[in-house]
Amino acid sequence: MEQMEHQMMGYDRTSAMFSPDGRLLQVEYAKKAVKQGITAVGVVCKDGVVLLADKRINERLLVPRSVDKVFQIDDHIIAASSGFMMDGRVLIERAQLIAQQHKVMNDEPMELIELVKEIADLKQFYTQYGGARPFGVSVLFAGVDDKPRLYVTDPTGIFFEYKATAIGEYENEVKSILNKDYKDNMSIDDGIKLALNALKVTMKKDFSMERIDGAYVTEKERTFVKIDKNRIMKFQK
C-alpha cells in the first residue's frame, strides 16, 4: 500500500497530469473539498425554484445577517456554492458579470443553461492546463427560463440538471430525503419546507434558524426573492 502511495506521489502535483490508472488527482482532491463545505439544497417547484443553504456560523460574535450563502446572479437566476468559499465567490461574481454583459449586449436576459455552460467551461479549463489548481467548489444554479430549472456544476467542469439535489457536507443524506419526499407538483412553500426539513434532519444538533439562508425565483414574476427569517420560522415544526 505504501509503495502504491509512493508511486502516486508526483501525479498529484498538477491537474494536467494523468496518473497511471487514468485519474486526475488534483481534481479528485477538489471534489473532496466540496464534501467538506456548507450544505446547500435546491428544489424545483411547479411555480418556481428554491435554494436553501447552511451559513455554518460557528462564532458567537459573528453577525448572521452579514453572511450570505445564496446569491442573486440576475433577476431570474440565483446560485449557491459549497467548497472553498473564496473560489465560490470568484465564480459567483464571474457569473454575475457574464449575465449582466449579456443583458447589455443583447437587450434580453441570459438563459440559465448558457450561463451554466460558461461557468462549467471555466472550471474545465483549470483541469486541463498547468500553472493553477482546479476550483475547489460546486455551484448550484437555479432560475426560470421556459420553466423553473436547477443545475449543478462540479470541480471537473461537468454539469447536470436536477429536479432537486444538494451539495456539500451532507449531500448524500439530504439527497436520500429528497429522493423519498420530493413531488413534481410541489409549491414554493412546499419546496422551502422540504429543503428546511432535510437540513434539520441531517444537521441535527447543529441546526439553527440563524444558520439558514435562502431565496427563490417564481415562474410568474421571474424575480429574485430573499426568504426572510419569519417565513422560514413558520415551517419549523
Residue 233 pLDDT > 80:
no
Residue 42 lies in a domain: yes
Residue 24 lies in a domain: no
Q: How many domains does the chain have?
A: 1
Residue 164 lies in a domain: yes
Q: Please state the length of the chain.
A: 237
Provide DSSP, 165-192: EEESTTHHHHHHHHHHH--TT--HHHHH
Residue 15 lies in a domain: no
Q: What is the reported pLDDT for 130? A: 72
Write the pLDDT tens digit of every residue in 38-48. Answer: 999 999 999 99
CA–CA distance, 71 with 127 (Å, rounded to integer): 26
What's the CATH code of the domain at 104? Answer: 3.60.20.10
CA–CA distance, 218 with 188 (Å, rounded to integer): 8
Supply the range of the domain harboring residue 155: 33-57+64-233
CA–CA distance, 72 with 84 (Å, rounded to integer): 19
Q: What is the reported pLDDT for 3? A: 47
Residue 194 pLDDT > 70:
yes
Q: What is the reported pLDDT for 23? A: 80
Write the pLDDT tens digit of every residue in 6-21. Answer: 455 666 777 677 888 8
Q: What is the reported pLDDT for 11? A: 66
Residue 193 lies in a domain: yes
Residue 19 lies in a domain: no
Residue 209 pLDDT > 50:
yes
Task: Please choose, from the candidates 169, 222, 213, 219, the residue with its C-alpha nearest in 3D space to the C-alpha of residue 195.
Answer: 213
Residue 87 lies in a domain: yes
**Given 3-state DSSP classes, what are the helix, strand and coil percentages for the chain, each rounded to the nearest 5?**
40, 25, 35
Residue 94 lies in a domain: yes
